[in-house]
């Protein structure tokens, strides 16, 4: 494996990890795994404001994980690559044993 490939893989995993580090973004990715959706529908389903959803979708677009498809005056969002759905399916099969208080709050040492 070349250094360039390793750097590219590391950067891609870091972007994916950043996206999954926020529960709203993770929820968006899980929802889009099922079907494309409009931001307002995603906001309602996840119980966040449209502004919060807009910010999270902007982050996910910047990470290269989702794309907007214009539909009239609105945009429909979908995963940018079908392989993301398969990757999330595999991640959901992983069983982790964690300490109950680990990764909760700003003092997280994980």
Q: Residues 18-33: what's their mean pLDDT?
A: 95
Mark residue 69 as left, alpha or beta (left: phi above 0; alpha: psi -120 to 50; beta: remaining).
Answer: beta
Q: Model confidence at 104, in pLDDT bands (50, 70, 90)?
A: low
CA 50 to chain centre: 17
Query: What pLDDT is attached to residue 1?
Result: 47
Residue-wise pLDDT for 28-43, tens only, equals: 999 999 999 999 999 9
Res 94 pLDDT > 80: yes
pTM of the model: 0.79
Q: Which two tokens stand for residue 85?
A: 């759905």
Distance CA 91, CA 13 (A): 13
Distance CA 92, CA 80 (A): 19
Residue-wise pLDDT for 42-88, tens only, equals: 999 999 999 999 999 999 999 999 999 999 999 999 999 999 999 99
Res 9 pLDDT > 90: no
What does the domain layout of the chain look like in residue ranges?
3-92
* Architecture of domain 3-92 in this structure: Orthogonal Bundle (1.10)
């Amino acid at each position: 494996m070349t250094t360039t490939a390793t750097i590219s893989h590391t950067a891609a995993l870091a972007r994916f990890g950043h996206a999954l580090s926020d529960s709203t973004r993770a929820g968006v990715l899980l929802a889009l795994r099922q079907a494309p959706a409009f931001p307002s529908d995603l906001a309602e389903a996840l119980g966040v404001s449209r502004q919060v959803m807009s910010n999270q979708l902007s982050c996910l677009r910047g990470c290269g994980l989702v794309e907007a498809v214009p539909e009239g005056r609105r945009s429909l969002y979908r995963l940018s690559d079908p392989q993301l759905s398969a990757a999330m399916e595999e991640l959901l099969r992983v069983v982790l044993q964690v300490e109950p208080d680990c990764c909760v709050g700003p003092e997280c040492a994980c």
